[in-house]
Amino acid sequence: MSDTSSRAKKTKANPMWGGRFGVAPDAIMQKINASIDVDKRLYAEDIAGSKAHARMLAKAKILTAKDAAKIVEGLDKVRVEIETGRFTFKTELEDIHMNVESRLAEIIGEPAKRLHTGRSRNDQVATDFRLWVRGACDRAELALREFQRALLDKAQAHAGTIMPGFTHLQPAQPVTFGHHLMAYVEMAGRDRGRFADARRRMNESPLGAAALAGTSFPIDRHFTAEALGFDRPTANSLDSVSDRDFALEFLSAAAIASMHLSRLAEELVIWCGPQFGFVRLSDAWSTGSSIMPQKRNPDAAELVRATSGRMIGSLIGLFTVMKGLPLTYSKDMQEDKARSFAAADALMLSIAAMTGMIDDLAINEARMKASASAGYTTATDLADWLVRELGMPFREAHHVTGRIVRRAEELGIDISELALADMQAVEKRIDKRVFKVLGVENSVASRTSFGGTAPANVRKAVTAARKRYL
């Protein structure tokens, strides 16, 4: 017999489930099996679920009203102990459910042993975790709303601030900074929609599904579902305890939102550099160097950019855990909470940081406009003019404009600075009216199609977005 087995025999079996076992688990088994260091964050949800369950048991006359009242009162005392730091979490009790129930038994005695009637830790944890993820969706959605508010305030202030719009990170066409920020308002709006949609789909109660097959006790699952704010109980007991698609949906929404935040963070990093000089992050959102006194590092933006990898990793990690599990519950699912908690924490911090950066962001309007004027960004305006005024097919106008751009490039000037004779040498029908469309101000002002960058459009879009999102 191994030394490990000998050590195990000296201790008693687990008091919560040890009737089938003669000795306690090995110390290493206890360590790998315990989840209390992670799932103690579910204490509020666990206590809420137990209170609803106890009241339902009393309503169904499975428990006496007196015992149910003692259980509810005792659970309230446990919650106070946890929230005031007077509760001792015990690894040997494995998880939040057993820690709460054990302490409840110490407080109220015999009635605590009746609480687990008609349920299992399988449906208990599924319920607790759904409640927590549902709350995480709500918290993320509210944080993204505040992020949109910051973007909208800045977009309104810079509805007419001209900057280059990019494709391939090369100057493409003039846009306004307000219009650029409004793109992220729309992304955040869809992110909020994903969290809200996931919340609606997960808002069903697994409580009462028991271990996997339901229970023979005359429980009322609709009662507990309503008590916990769910729309309805889950329809299949096997599915109730064995799937974590609600967590995957949350993680997916978090990963997509973090990707959007990362893209804006990347732009801030680029724009802060002297090569662009478009924006300046305040001291509150920058750091210095230990060796180079001149440095201002956009570390907050860089960390938001990096943190997205953690959230995407959490999603892929849980997908990998779940992909091969047969029905119903397997202990592999214990990995769901650490990944979800970490992703939720990272997301909330990233949103808060990005909101703060946008609020404090200083804009170098002159630098943006000068950059918008470089790189022949009004070439498309010239091509459009040829189509509109001369009736030229667009593909032909594209070639004509390309030849005019090449001539301006040879002379080292912008298209708007070319002499009319230079343009007419390429296309004789061009007249002086063309100069009205070649300046960047004229360019952005002309983009009046719905969703376009014209300052008037941006101001209308901000007003509409405030009504839609705030």
- The catalytic site residues sit at 168, 289
Positions of E strands within 177-213 = 204-205
Question: What's the one-letter identity of residue 426?
Answer: V
DSSP secondary structure of 384-417:
HHHHHHH---HHHHHHHHHHHHHHHHHHTS-GGG
- Asked if residues 462 and 186 have their Cβ atoms less than 8 Å apart, the reply is no
Please report where in the chains the tokens 């446990």 appear, as a residue: 78
What is the distance between the alpha carbons of residues 146 and 141, in angstroms, rounded to a whole number? 9
- Asked if residues 205 and 225 have their Cβ atoms less than 8 Å apart, the reply is yes
| Cβ burial, residue 461 (10 Å; 0-12/13-18/19+) | buried
Interior angle at CA 32, CA 31 and CA 33, nearest 5: 90
- Asked if residues 379 and 418 have their Cβ atoms less than 8 Å apart, the reply is no
What is the distance between the alpha carbons of residues 23 and 245, in angstroms, rounded to a whole number? 36
Beta bridge partners of 287: 297
User: What is residue 170's three-state secondary structure?
Assistant: strand
CA 9 to chain centre: 48
Positions of E strands within 208-350 = 232-233, 279-280
Beta bridge partners of 204: 232
- Asked if residues 102 and 16 have their Cβ atoms less than 8 Å apart, the reply is yes
Please report where in the chains the tokens 């089938």 appear, as a residue: 20
125's enclosing H/E stretch is helix 121-157
Positions of E strands within 300-346 = none
Question: 370 is written with which tokens?
Answer: 């000068």
CA 368 to chain centre: 30
**HEC profile of 74-113:** HHHHHHHHHHCCCCCCCHHHCCHHHHHHHHHHHHHCHHHH
What is the distance between the alpha carbons of residues 345 and 203, in angstroms, rounded to a whole number? 22
Among 283, 297, 129, 121, CA closest to 210: 121
Please report where in the chains the tokens 């397997």 appear, as a residue: 330
Beta bridge partners of 313: none
